Chains A and B, each alone.
Chain A
């Protein structure tokens, strides 16, 4: 009788029994969460690259572009979903549009800052050496802007992992669906704990992966900062 009581203790922080029974559901949530995150960041990067290119090419557009992407960021997510659902319906598209919107401000800012951070003397040296503009971009400017751009991608990715849970409101959400499930029950916190902890773990893992990627791509940056 004691054992039964213990096993059904409604106040228990985490109920492992539930976890093992719902392993499939948790796995599906993981895949969905990861897919939504990666797709969001990928689209965000492409879109931000285009916006940054416009901002850098046509200087007058830089301020409006940064201002507009900042404005999107200030919209409360619940309000944004409320605005999008009547137009795009419940589901993936609405979630994706909202999530991508939130990545823009960080990505565009870092891309523009990264490109502007390339020293003028180095750009001029490349030009004087006979680089065509496109080649100069790929082999000089982009590599030098990469640490700043990657820093933006890391922040955007970690932020997106957290925000994906909110998209449970429109019927998506990965771990958000688990959390929602927990919130709808009384005195049963296990799905909330599982969803939250796994979301944090995913954010940390992705952040580490991006850090490692950046390190591999920018060996000179290490040579600059590290001891000789």
Chain B
């Protein structure tokens, strides 16, 4: 999905020395930040309040104008593009969803296509397609937003942002207004959506677990827009770059890493051999399917009396056994 320009891969979003100084503030909200979001990746920005993460996001679609520095979208300085055209090419999802209460769900989703002047047929087909994509029951299309639950509204918000198929999506705390169960489901949906669409997504959240769960890369920011660490979640958990990051990640880093890995991530060579008689009733603990997370596998091991469980491959064949030591080895 990346745009190649000769040998160099052009990042979808590139911030060059971007500074935002609000009038009357002592220190800049964002100070000379450099950041690259590779094309087709989901990058989460996390940090305490005052770290400038929302400011950074809003500078990308020019809701906030940087004091200095440049922001390149697909290699083009965004300041040189007409602002309305720039924004129509960038999907935007916010916490409060911000659906238009006076428009039906159908018209809400069709907002950007209407601004772009698409004809009725094309818009209608696209709306139906989006319903399927984000898991929205088409019967809600004729309703107004107030008749929908928070989770449904958030799905409509995502559908609206994706309507004109923008390559870049900005998400500002998209799931913090819904309850934890719905949030978990929406996060799963986002991961699945991203596997299908490969959009370049820049997501802001204050929830480190959300960032670790959904992102390809996590940017940890401290007050003043200082980029503390920027890397894939597993690397972040394995090797926090500073005490600030370590503190921000919390005390259960090892468990967080385990929840990102599945049984399938264990190398064949690391597994313990299969021993014992599978038909022996004392050994008859259910084997672990390939998609079980290592966190759940550890939980199952701690609860079993043999300290050893069989693991299966994608086709359901037994690959070997896993023990607490095998899991511990995987983290080292």
- Chain A residues contacting B112 (CB-CB under 8 Å) are 129-130
Other than the known A119-B98, A125-B99, A224-B146, what 17 A-B pairs have Cβ atoms closer than 8 Å?
A121-B94, A121-B96, A124-B94, A128-B63, A129-B115, A129-B160, A130-B86, A130-B88, A132-B84, A144-B101, A218-B102, A220-B101, A220-B102, A220-B103, A220-B144, A223-B143, A224-B144
Q: Does B137 make an interface contact (CB < 8 A)?
A: no
* Chain A stretch 171-228: residues in CB contact (< 8 A) with chain B: 218-221, 223-224, 228
Contact for B115 among A121, A131, A220, CB less than 8 A: A131
A8 close to B (CB within 8 Å): no
Q: Is the CB of A127 closer than 8 A to any CB of chain B?
A: yes
8 A Cβ contacts from B130-150 to A: 143-144, 146-147
Q: Give the distance in Å from the alpha carbon of A124 to the alpha carbon of B95 in the complex.
A: 12
The listed residue (B85, B92, B102, B143) touching A129 by CB distance below 8 A is B92
Q: Which of B90, B98, B103 has a CB less than 8 Å from the CB of A124?
A: B98
Q: Which residue of B lies closest to A218 (CB)?
A: B102
Indicate if the CB atoms of B111 and A129 lie closer than 8 Å: yes
Indicate which residue in B88, B92, B102 contacts A144 across the interface (CB closer than 8 Å).
Answer: B102
Instruction: Tell me what chain B mostly uses at the interface: helix, strand, loop, or mixed.
Output: mixed
Q: Does B293 reach chain A (CB closer than 8 Å)?
A: no
B87 at interface, CB cutoff 8 A? yes
Q: Is the Cβ of B94 less than 8 Å from the Cβ of A130?
A: no
* Shortest Cβ gap from A137 to chain B (Å): 13
Ordered nearest first, which 4 A-B pairs have the shortest CB separation?
A: A125-B98, A130-B88, A130-B87, A128-B92
A131 CA / B146 CA spacing, docked (Å): 22
Question: CB-CB contacts of A119-160 with B at 8 A, as 1s and 0s?
Answer: 101101111111110010000100110000000000000000
Kindly list chain A residues whose C-beta atoms are within 8 Å of the C-beta of B88. 129-130
The distance in angstroms between the C-alpha atoms of A143 and B101, with both chains bound, is: 10
A126 to B92, CA, bound (A): 10
Question: Interface residues of A: mostly helix, strand, loop or mixed?
Answer: helix
B residues lining the A interface (CB < 8 Å): 61, 63, 84-88, 90, 92, 94, 96, 98-103, 111-112, 115, 143-144, 146-147, 160, 170
A125 touches B146 (CB 8 A): no
Known contacts A121-B94, A131-B115: does B144 contact A126 (CB below 8 Å)?
Answer: no
Q: With a 10 A CB-CB cut-off, give which of A126, A127, A129, A132 has the most chain B CB atoms.
A: A129
**Which of B87, B96, B100, B160 is in CB contact (< 8 Å) with A127?**
B87
Is the Cβ of B144 less than 8 Å from the Cβ of A223? yes
Query: How far is it, in angstroms, between the C-alpha of A135 and the C-alpha of B98 when the chains are bound?
Result: 17
Q: How far is the CA of A10 from the CA of B317 in the complex (A)?
A: 110
* A220-B144, A223-B144 known; A130+B63 contact, CB < 8 A: no
- Closest-CB distance, A214 to chain B (whole angstroms): 13
| A129 & B63 in contact (Cβ 8 Å cutoff) | no
Would A122 and B63 count as touching, CB distance under 8 A? Answer: no
Within the assembled complex, what's the spacing in Å between the Cα atoms of A16 and B149?
61
In the assembled complex, which residues on chain A have CB atoms less than 8 Å from the CB atom of B87? 127-130
Q: B96–A130 contact, CB under 8 A? A: no
The total of chain A residues at the interface (CB under 8 A) is 23
Q: Are B61 and A128 in contact (CB under 8 A)?
A: yes
Interface pair A220/B61, CB less than 8 Å apart: no
Contact of A122 among B61, B86, B101, B143 (CB under 8 A): B101
Q: How far is the CA of A129 from the CA of B146 in the complex (A)?
A: 20
Chain A, range 87-142, C-beta contacts under 8 Å to B: 119, 121-122, 124-132, 135, 140
Quick one: given A124-B63, A128-B61, A130-B112, are A223 and B147 in contact (CB under 8 Å)? yes
A223 — which chain B residues lie within 8 A by C-beta? Answer: 143-144, 146-147
B50 to chain A, nearest CB (A): 20
**Cα distance A143–B250 in the bound complex, in angstroms:** 47
Residue of A at shortest CB range from B170?
A: A128
Tell me, rounded to whole Å, the shortest Cβ–Cβ distance linking A122 to chain B.
Answer: 5
In the complex where A121-B94, A220-B144, A223-B143 touch, is A126 in contact with B100 (Cβ < 8 A)?
yes
User: Are A228 and B147 in contact (CB-based, < 8 A)?
Assistant: yes
Q: Which residues in B have their C-beta under 8 angstroms from that of A124? A: 63, 94, 98
Give Cα A42–Cα B96 distance, bound, in whole angstroms: 37
Q: Which residues of chain A come closer than 8 Å to B103, judged between CB atoms?
A: 220
Could you tell me the distance between the alpha carbons of A128 and B102 in the complex, rounded to whole angstroms? 18
- Which chain B residue lies CB-closest to A223? B144
Sample of 26 A–B contacts (CB below 8 Å): A121-B94, A121-B96, A122-B99, A122-B100, A124-B63, A124-B98, A125-B92, A125-B94, A125-B100, A128-B90, A128-B92, A128-B94, A129-B87, A129-B92, A129-B111, A129-B112, A130-B85, A130-B86, A135-B115, A140-B100, A140-B102, A218-B102, A219-B144, A220-B102, A220-B144, A224-B146
